[in-house]
Amino acid sequence: MDVRFINPFLNGTVQVLKTMAFVEPKAGKPFLKKDSLARGDISGIIGLTGSARGSLALSFSESSILKIVSNMLGEEIKTLNGDIKDAVGEITNMVSGAARKELETLGFNITAAIPTVVAGKDHSISHVLGGPSIIIPFETPQGPFVVDICIGSIAGQ
Amino acid sequence: MSVNKNLKILIVDDFATMRKVIRNLLKQGGFENVVEAEDGLAALKILKSQQVDFIISDWNMPNMSGLELLKAVRGDDELKALPFLMVTAEALKDNVVAAVKAGVSNYIVKPFTAEVLNEKIEKIVKSLAA
């Protein structure tokens, strides 16, 4: 995968969570993931097409997403309910939007599909391109989450 | 000139959670008189049955999009003067041009802070009063 794709998704994730949820996540070292197992309890997945094609997933640990969404809504949420699922979809959408805006400056014109949300222990992430994917791990005071991207540029880019 | 914080604001978004998020951000700016609709069609029903002072609408929605709602509002003699703030996940040039052509008052790109949202509302209301 083209390394130019990593920073826009990393920056977009930090920007969205900082702005909407007042959480400043710390990014760890990206690594390659060869299996389809999600690295979190709930994941938002969105397909990307255009001058690059692939998919983006955000997988949150239960503790991290409960705090993030509680901050977004201004009320404490204690379980992975419908609000959390909605919010994970919306966060995925916003991260994709912020990343695509940055990618536009690199000459990539990418559009996004509608996000889907999957929850449960040991659920899997099905990337459009099949894999392998790049994992960008993040830490928050309440727990970890990861950005899981599998994207490739179309010939000519 | 200060803006009337009792403005009745209609939030239109298909995601209930996003409506709650916007409601929470508005509250931080002192705007608590809020009604909600899950798409453009539901919004029109509300606009026809009660007085609303300001519309904040998402762009992407099923049944009737934010742009279609904006066009319907601007095409209605009773509603056409209503301030309309469009919320988008991305500032695509074509979308912005289409919204401006349809008469949007302003637009805001997600993610945004309470400060940015409330500043946009105040700016639109003040420009209408000038």
Given CATH 3.40.640.10, say whether it is the number of domain B9-125.
no
Residue A6, H or E segment: helix A6-21
From the first residue on, what is the mean pLDDT of each consecutive set of 10 residues in chain B (130 residues)? 88 92 93 96 96 94 92 96 90 81 93 92 87
pLDDT value of residue A18? 94
The predicted pLDDT at position B88 comes to 86
Distance, CA of A90 to CA of A103 (rounded, Å): 20
The answer, for B17 touching chain A at a CB cutoff of 8 Å, is: yes
10-residue averages of pLDDT along chain A (157 residues): 86 95 95 90 96 95 97 92 92 93 89 91 88 93 96 70
pLDDT of residue B26: 95
ipTM over 0.85: no
Kindly list the residues from chain A whose CB atom is less than 8 angstroms away from the CB atom of residue B109: 97
Cβ atoms B107, B99 nearer than 8 A: yes
Domain limits, chain B: 9-125
pTM equals: 0.86
Contact B109 A90 (CB under 8 A): no
Minimum-distance CB partner of B24 among A74, A82, A94? A74
HSE-CB for B115 with a 13 A CA cutoff: 1
Among A73, A81, A90, A114, most B C-beta atoms within 10 A, so best to mutate, is A90
pLDDT for the residue A89: 93
pLDDT in tens, A69-96: 999 998 899 999 988 999 999 999 999 9
